[in-house]
């Protein structure tokens, strides 16, 4: 890791590690070199976007985010473009996903769940008032800031009010099956607001119960359960919580509870404090169109500089939520999509050890500098499992290794790193406390 590594700068932003990726976009940690502010930089390839006819969807995502300025929605700072890429600069949210909180700690007490649900409803109500419908609300798209407050993210599947047809309904089936409203599945058109509320009801159930109200390995059976609203509230829920959930998870969108009624609900109203914030927002969408044009005045420059691939203190702190210096595979990491460990071994030895461990497990290995991409040759439940790893230098004799699911099924990733851990026992740095625990 002492060898020089290319450092990337886009306009005024210094670009760091990858913190997420999807089919059409990669999200990088970045820092504003003028203010020092950390941001999440969403990077899209123009050719890929055009080839897959995704231009309108990307424009919609950017336009949606520009319309929303709310304390419980991830903020969009600015949009830029180079000749080949589109860059969306987003607020960097440090507290992780609400999904991880549920997986690691199980169901919540009603007071804790109520706080998150109040923040969710407040954010969704604001979005709907601006003609914005999310259409993929689920715990994975609900982030937490450093203070533990909710932030709604990922508007890639959102719809704006001007997409509504003459019948006043939306007609695109999308979202995650377990959270999707029955009327979205029947393909007869649906109201974006009531469909979003159904998803909010599923989220509330998951927060309070610790499991999904509608779940079945057979997709047709799952759709049937959703269409009939076949679910049972666990016995530990209060009567008022059960009543609210039942009113939200009403399979008939015409009789389903609406937000003004939720705001007056007995269970919801307890300790409710709507956020106070400045509602002035910039509705100028000129730059949304500009990023798809090649005119020189709208293009940002990309520069590459050589420097050692060391983590600075802020990056290390930002990654520390999942960093356990002694253990790679502890119980709390069980369903995470990424994990990290530290090692005193040379970087090349770490890379070679991971390669030696991955190949017998059926993975093709591609290496570039101190990054690796592992791809399972056999397709799994959600296609071929792809794993990204990268070695970072923390100090001259200490490295940190990130192991992250890039594509595929989370449970298959879990099984992979359980197997990987047995081969890396002599690589992972163990503290004296860890050694004592093993005795």
Catalytic positions are 136
Reported for 335-339, long-range contacts at CB under 8 A and 24+ positions apart, including other chains, are: 335/103, 335/410, 335/411, 335/414, 336/100, 336/103, 337/404, 337/405, 337/410, 337/413, 338/402, 338/403, 338/404, 338/405, 339/402, 339/403, 339/404, 339/417
Sign of CA dihedral 207, 211, 216, 219: positive
Q: Tokens at residue 172, please?
A: 């695109």
Q: What is the CB neighbour count within 10 angstroms for residue 292?
A: 15
* CA angle (334, 337, 339) in 5-degree steps: 75
269 is known to lie in a ligand binding site: no
Phi, psi of 206 (to 5 degrees): -60, -40
| CB of 198 closer than 8 Å to CB of 214 | no
As a whole number of angstroms, the distance between CA 199 and CA 366 comes to 39
Annotated binding site for ATP: 42
């Amino acid at each position: 890791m002492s060898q020089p590594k290319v450092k990337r700068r886009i306009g005024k932003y210094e670009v760091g590690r990858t913190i997420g990726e999807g089919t059409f976009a990669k999200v990088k940690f970045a820092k504003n070199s003028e203010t020092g502010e950390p941001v999440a930089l969403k990077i899209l390839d123009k050719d890929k976007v055009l080839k897959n006819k995704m231009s309108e969807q990307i424009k919609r995502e950017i336009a949606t985010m520009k319309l929303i300025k709310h304390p419980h929605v991830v903020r969009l700072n600015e949009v830029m473009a180079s000749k080949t890429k589109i860059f969306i600069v987003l607020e960097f949210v440090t507290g992780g996903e609400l999904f991880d909180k549920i997986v690691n700690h199980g169901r919540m007490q009603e007071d804790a769940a109520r706080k998150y649900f109040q923040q969710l409803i407040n954010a969704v109500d604001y979005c709907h008032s601006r003609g914005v419908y999310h259409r993929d609300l689920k715990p994975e798209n609900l982030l937490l800031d450093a203070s533990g407050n909710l932030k709604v993210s990922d508007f890639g599947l959102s719809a704006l009010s001007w997409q509504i047809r003459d019948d006043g309904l939306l007609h695109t089936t999308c979202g995650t099956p377990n959270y999707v409203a029955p009327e979205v599945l029947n393909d007869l058109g649906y109201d974006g607001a009531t469909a979003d509320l159904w998803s909010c009801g599923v989220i509330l159930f998951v927060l309070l119960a610790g499991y999904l109200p509608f779940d079945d390995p057979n997709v047709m059976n799952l759709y049937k359960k959703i269409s009939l609203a076949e679910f049972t509230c666990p016995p530990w829920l209060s009567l008022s919580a059960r009543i609210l959930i039942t009113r939200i998870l009403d399979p008939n969108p015409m009789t389903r509870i609406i937000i003004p009624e939720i705001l007056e609900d007995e269970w919801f109203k307890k300790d409710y404090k709507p956020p106070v914030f400045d509602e002035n927002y910039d509705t100028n969408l000129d730059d949304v169109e500009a990023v798809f044009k090649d005119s020189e005045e709208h293009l940002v420059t990309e520069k590459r500089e050589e420097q050692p691939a060391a983590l600075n203190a802020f990056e290390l702190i930002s990654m520390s939520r999942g960093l356990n210096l002694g253990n790679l595979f502890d119980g709390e990491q069980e369903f995470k999509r990424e994990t990290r460990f530290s090692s005193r071994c040379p970087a090349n030895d770490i890379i070679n050890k991971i390669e030696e461990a991955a190949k017998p497990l059926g993975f093709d290995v591609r290496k570039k500098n101190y990054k690796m991409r592992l791809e399972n040759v056999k397709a799994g439940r959600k296609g071929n499992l792809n794993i990204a790893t990268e070695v970072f230098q923390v100090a001259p004799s200490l490295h940190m290794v990130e192991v992250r699911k890039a594509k595929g099924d989370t449970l298959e990733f879990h099984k992979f790193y359980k197997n990987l851990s047995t081969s890396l026992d002599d690589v992972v740095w163990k503290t004296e406390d860890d050694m004592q625990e093993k005795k």
